[in-house]
Amino acid sequence: MTGTVITLADLAEFLQVELHGGDSRSPIESLAPLDRAGPRQLAFMAHDRYRDSLIDTQAGAVILSPAHLPHCPVPALVCEHPHVAYAQAARRIHPDPVAVPGIHPSASISDQAVVHPTAQVGPQCVVEADCQIGPGVIMGPGCFLQAGCQVGENSRLVARVTLGPRVRLGRRALVQPGAVIGGDGFGFARQGEAWLRVPQVGSVCIGDDVEVGANTTIDRGALDDTIIEDGVKLDNLIQVAHNVHIGAHTAVAGCVGIAGSARIGRRCGIGGGAGILGHLEIADDVTVTAMTLVTHSIREPGVYSSGVPQAPAREWNRSLAHLRRLGELFRRVRGLEQEGDPGARQRR
Amino acid sequence: MTGTVITLADLAEFLQVELHGGDSRSPIESLAPLDRAGPRQLAFMAHDRYRDSLIDTQAGAVILSPAHLPHCPVPALVCEHPHVAYAQAARRIHPDPVAVPGIHPSASISDQAVVHPTAQVGPQCVVEADCQIGPGVIMGPGCFLQAGCQVGENSRLVARVTLGPRVRLGRRALVQPGAVIGGDGFGFARQGEAWLRVPQVGSVCIGDDVEVGANTTIDRGALDDTIIEDGVKLDNLIQVAHNVHIGAHTAVAGCVGIAGSARIGRRCGIGGGAGILGHLEIADDVTVTAMTLVTHSIREPGVYSSGVPQAPAREWNRSLAHLRRLGELFRRVRGLEQEGDPGARQRR
Amino acid sequence: MTGTVITLADLAEFLQVELHGGDSRSPIESLAPLDRAGPRQLAFMAHDRYRDSLIDTQAGAVILSPAHLPHCPVPALVCEHPHVAYAQAARRIHPDPVAVPGIHPSASISDQAVVHPTAQVGPQCVVEADCQIGPGVIMGPGCFLQAGCQVGENSRLVARVTLGPRVRLGRRALVQPGAVIGGDGFGFARQGEAWLRVPQVGSVCIGDDVEVGANTTIDRGALDDTIIEDGVKLDNLIQVAHNVHIGAHTAVAGCVGIAGSARIGRRCGIGGGAGILGHLEIADDVTVTAMTLVTHSIREPGVYSSGVPQAPAREWNRSLAHLRRLGELFRRVRGLEQEGDPGARQRR
């Protein structure tokens, strides 16, 4: 996809990096992988293993670290953190959309809501009383904000996002379609064989620079708020239960479920499909690998797992059969040990 | 959040419990945890482990069992089931929303649909022919009811809920945003290498007092209906396939997948992330713990598991390596046993 | 549910199969299981185990294979592939909905979008610039197409479907409510402790005859497109990350998560709740069973597993305890082996 055209010189200046080789007036207009980039495209060198692609690249320029410069046949933008510089360049060439101020005539906005004049409210949005929509906010079609919500400046709700009562969203949030933030927590008291719902009167408080994936759900707290700190990134189809607390800059991959009142630290990484039980704590800087079940608190940084890699079904079924017979094996080994120990035999 | 003000005397009468201590005219206006409640707030004592919080509480009143009364420094509402009483009190202070009768002008309602005059139909709702919306029903923005649906009295579809053809929802249902009830079941016949869709002509039949979480999906049956009995509680992001049958008062936590024609009993509890294969039965009063895979029928009440608690990755990888070598270990133990048995050695 | 009436003779001709017994003018008007079908209903014999139901059936006709014909007490439609013939018959009796051409007045269509005159665009749909809606397309209520999307002829977006920028959907697609196709991929560069978003400028390219389940999410590619080939069937609540490639006629069950750049072959079957890590390849004709975690490439066709069947919790906890002690058991067996081998004892 073609984006905003920028010259190599301007790009180098924007990134505050050094340009090696090439005509500084050459235009860059889009992004491409090393091995397919053409002369008006920017690529980047992510890893040593792409060295062959680098040697043959026809990119207009490559962002790379000093170590790779000698192998680069085209203009190079040299820096210590090529991935970060690439992300910045990419956002320069493909800038985030900017609000087109105004409220679509099909939107229903409460008289008691405040929409900043620079905000954009799309078709069929519904905004209830006491909501505050900040400057530069973009609300795509079909978003629904229940009473008392706040959306911080330059946030974007892409489409069909639902915010429950009094949800506060910080600045520069990006919420993908279908996300539900502030639905009722799953709280019940057992009365005989039935369940009696406990009203959920907390809400959800979300910091700055948070991203929420498509169809992800974050429940409002029972009494206190569910809290998502600054810079947290949530992928698609994640369930965050009531009163969960997620520390700043933690990233959670798709299909993760986090049960009520779990507290996850800062800068954690939670792998796809993992499950985190309720009322436990995970320290800062913890990595949980894919499809791991966290059943008890994690006090130390590090990598934690319980996912099982696939095997041919026949092999795996044999492993399971052996696993079920382990008690027997322990007994048999104990028997052998006692046989070899006449004292043990006597003590029996 | 402040709710409806009620005096201690009125609260005691409403709950039909005894009030100990305090001024019976003192007002309660909201809920709070024991350790943070102030004089106009109601708390409850959930568990022995909160005794220290009880001793220091400044709540306006505490709901607790007789055993804890001696330790309560503030007015107490004493009863056998504090959690149930608390839920009732909480719903008294924070009552469920009540329908504001009327149909929003942006809604599209078929001439052949019947909307009870006491029902509330929100902006952008679409209701097709032959639907019946009962008394006191609340439909939030963007709900879509395909032809022939029925919604029982005092049910609430919070927002953006989709009901497929002829879905019947009982009384007092609560359906969170984004739920899809009555999408097509996943049924195909293999024709060569392709899949030929089998029309799904059943629907979904849901009893009274059922709750359905945000972005949860319940497929319509192939021929017969998918059935959810009275009092079932489904959390967020659950998949219920075609022709599943869930017994009354069963609670299912988030991210669970239930495959086609599975039949789950009454009063079961299914933990988060569990998977239940199709065409099997689970008895009444079964608990399935988080991330368990149910591959065969469960005939007896009890607790069933196959989830694996996390461990440091290095430790877990060692366990996996050992697991793969179990066949070898069984052979080695057999070898040792035969060595110690001269007869076995001869028989070899 | 009653459908289109058809005589046995017409049904036999439509299916190109032989009719055995009965009055060829008898009408069939709906579908039912063997054991409950009445004289105006069509049933089919799926499996030997239903022979008792066949012997007692009162169906108007039964689709079955030649081997079962002798046991059929009612008119029979005989063919080699009863399931396929049944699917075809079922779609004849319950045909897919047909577009009612026109654009609902509440829809917002860009002047720069092209909607084919035979297409149906439902209430509250939003279609941005440069979209192309093909002949016979049905868009139910609340669908949102971002700029540059294409929807192929006779496709159906049931309701509340979101397509991101430049998503291409082939012919005869069926997309269930709440699906989000083309949300941003989850791509970030780490900058200090924060995450910097990498713009996702690819899109999603979907072939013909693809079905996408309710609330399923398919992310747009980072640079290149995410690709779903012809005939792929995706169930509900599936997450497909950026730059995934799914081969033709692969079926994926509910709650599966597929991480970025995974490449899945043709005619695969992925069981419910499975997780597939990123940047790996799965060959054609691979079956992955439910809740399996695929951590490395699969090069050969076959069945692969790592799911663990449930057990009574007490039993399972014992297995887990044994599993953790396996290292110790290996050492003890080694010890016993060395005891029995005097040479080994000396070498110690």
ipTM of the complex: 0.96
Give which of A149, A198, A244, A315 to mutate to test B binding, by max B Cβ within 10 Å: A198
Residue A348: pLDDT above 50? no
C92 at B interface, C-beta within 8 A: no
- Long-range Cβ contact pairs of B274-282 (< 8 A, separation 24 or more): B275/C255, B275/C272, B275/C273, B275/C290, B275/C291, B275/C307, B277/C272, B277/C290, B278/B241
Using CB atoms, pick whichever of A178, A277, A318 lies closest to residue B290: A277
* C2-12 confidence digits (pLDDT tens): 899 999 999 99
Contact A8, A29 (CB under 8 A): no
Percent of chain B residues past pLDDT 90, beyond the cut: 95
B308 at A interface, C-beta within 8 A: yes
- Residue C94 annotated to the active site: no
CA atoms within 13 A on the CB side of B140: 28
Alpha helices in chain A (DSSP H): 8-15, 51-56, 82-93, 313-324, 326-339, 342-347
Which parts of B237-321 are beta strand (E)?
Answer: 239-240, 245-246, 251-252, 257-258, 263-264, 269-270, 275-276, 281-282, 286-288, 293-294, 302-305, 311-312
A88 at C interface, C-beta within 8 A: yes
* C288-332 confidence digits (pLDDT tens): 999 999 999 999 999 999 999 999 999 999 999 999 999 999 999
Residue C31: pLDDT above 60? yes
* Nearest CA distance, A201 vs chain B (angstrom): 6
Structural tokens at position C56:
């007692």
* DSSP letter string, C260-286: TT-EE-TT-EE-TT-EE-SS-EE-TTE
* B283-306 confidence digits (pLDDT tens): 999 999 999 999 999 999 999 999
Contact B259, B238 (CB under 8 A): no
B81 at A interface, C-beta within 8 A: yes
* A171-207 confidence digits (pLDDT tens): 999 999 999 999 999 999 999 999 999 999 999 999 9
Q: What is the mean pLDDT of chain B?
A: 96
Return residues 41-80 of C near B (CB < 8 Å): none
* C160-171 confidence digits (pLDDT tens): 999 999 999 999
* Nearest CA distance, B17 vs chain C (angstrom): 39
Residue B46: pLDDT above 90? no
Catalytic residues of B: 242
pLDDT of residue A79: 95
pLDDT of residue B343: 60
Percent of chain C residues past pLDDT 70, beyond the cut: 98
d(CA A198, CA B81): 14
Who contacts A296 (Cβ-Cβ below 8 Å, separation ≥6)? A277, A280, B309, B310
* B161-173 confidence digits (pLDDT tens): 999 999 999 999 9
Using alpha carbons, select from C196, C198, C168 the residue that is nearest to residue C184. Answer: C198
- Long-range Cβ contact pairs of B208-211 (< 8 A, separation 24 or more): B208/B152, B208/B170, B208/B171, B208/B172, B208/B173, B209/A194, B209/B170, B209/B171, B209/B172, B209/B173, B210/B169, B210/B170, B210/B173, B210/B174, B210/B234, B211/A197, B211/B173, B211/B174, B211/B175, B211/B176
Active-site choice (C68, C242, C245, C249): C242
- Which chain A residues contact residue C190 at CB under 8 A? 83-84
What's the pLDDT band for A347 if we cut at 50, 70, 90?
A: low
**Cβ atoms within 10 Å of B262's Cβ, excluding its own:** 22
Kindly state the helix (H) or strand (E) to which residue C66 belongs, with its residue range. none
Residue A326: pLDDT above 90? yes
CB contact under 8 A, B288 and C310: yes
* Nearest CA distance, C135 vs chain A (angstrom): 25
Does domain B6-93 fall under CATH 3.40.50.150? My reply is no
- Find how far residue A12's CA is from the centre of its chain: 29
Return residues 105-164 of C near B (CB < 8 Å): 106, 122-124, 140-142, 158-160
Give which of B124, B126, B296 to mutate to test C binding, by max C Cβ within 10 Å: B126
CB contact under 8 A, B162 and C177: yes
Using CB atoms, pick whichever of A96, A124, A251 lies closest to residue C195: A251
Residue keyed to tokens 């004709």: C285
d(CA B279, CA C59): 24
Return residues 247-286 of A near C (CB < 8 Å): 248-249, 251, 253-255, 266-267, 272-273
* Nearest CA distance, A323 vs chain B (angstrom): 7
**Cβ atoms within 10 Å of C229's Cβ, excluding its own:** 21
Who contacts C133 (Cβ-Cβ below 8 Å, separation ≥6)? C113, C114, C115, C116, C119, C121, C127, C139, C145, C151
CB contact under 8 A, B197 and C273: no
From the candidate CATH numbers 1.25.40.20, 2.160.10.10, 3.40.50.300, 3.40.50.720, the one assigned to the domain spanning B102-304: 2.160.10.10
- Which chain A residues contact residue B317 at CB under 8 A? 305
* Nearest CA distance, A6 vs chain C (angstrom): 17
Residue C348: pLDDT above 50? no
Percent of chain A residues past pLDDT 70, beyond the cut: 98
**SS3 of chain A: helix, strand, coil, percent, to 5:** 20, 30, 50
Give which of A255, A267, A318 to mutate to test C binding, by max C Cβ within 10 Å: A255
Residue C239: pLDDT above 80? yes
Active-site choice (A68, A242, A245, A249): A242
* B95-153 confidence digits (pLDDT tens): 999 999 999 999 999 999 999 999 999 999 999 999 999 999 999 999 999 999 999 99
* Nearest CA distance, A164 vs chain B (angstrom): 9
What's the pLDDT band for B47 if we cut at 50, 70, 90?
A: confident
Structural tokens at position A283:
């320290």
Residue C85: pLDDT above 50? yes
Q: In terms of pLDDT, which residue wins out, C338 or B46? A: C338
B85 at C interface, C-beta within 8 A: no
- Compare all CA atoms of chain A with the CA of C335 and give the residue at the minimum distance: A337
Q: What is the mean pLDDT of chain A?
A: 96
Average pLDDT in the C243-267 region? 98
Using CB atoms, pick whichever of A91, A142, A329 lies closest to residue C199: A91
Q: Which residues pair with C211 in a beta bridge?
A: C174, C233
Using CB atoms, pick whichever of A189, A288, A303 lies closest to residue B84: A189
Neighbours of chain C (3+ CB pairs under 8 A): A, B
Residue C342: pLDDT above 80? no
What's the pLDDT band for A7 if we cut at 50, 70, 90?
A: very high
What's the pLDDT band for B348 if we cut at 50, 70, 90?
A: very low
Neighbours of chain B (3+ CB pairs under 8 A): A, C
A236 at C interface, C-beta within 8 A: yes
Strand pairing of B188-191 and B194-197? antiparallel
* DSSP letter string, C198-260: PP----EEE-SS-EE-TT-EEEPPSSS-EEE-TT-EE-TT-EE-TT-EE-TT-EE-TT-EE-T
Using CB atoms, pick whichever of C94, C290, C317 lies closest to residue B275: C290
Residue A275: pLDDT above 60? yes
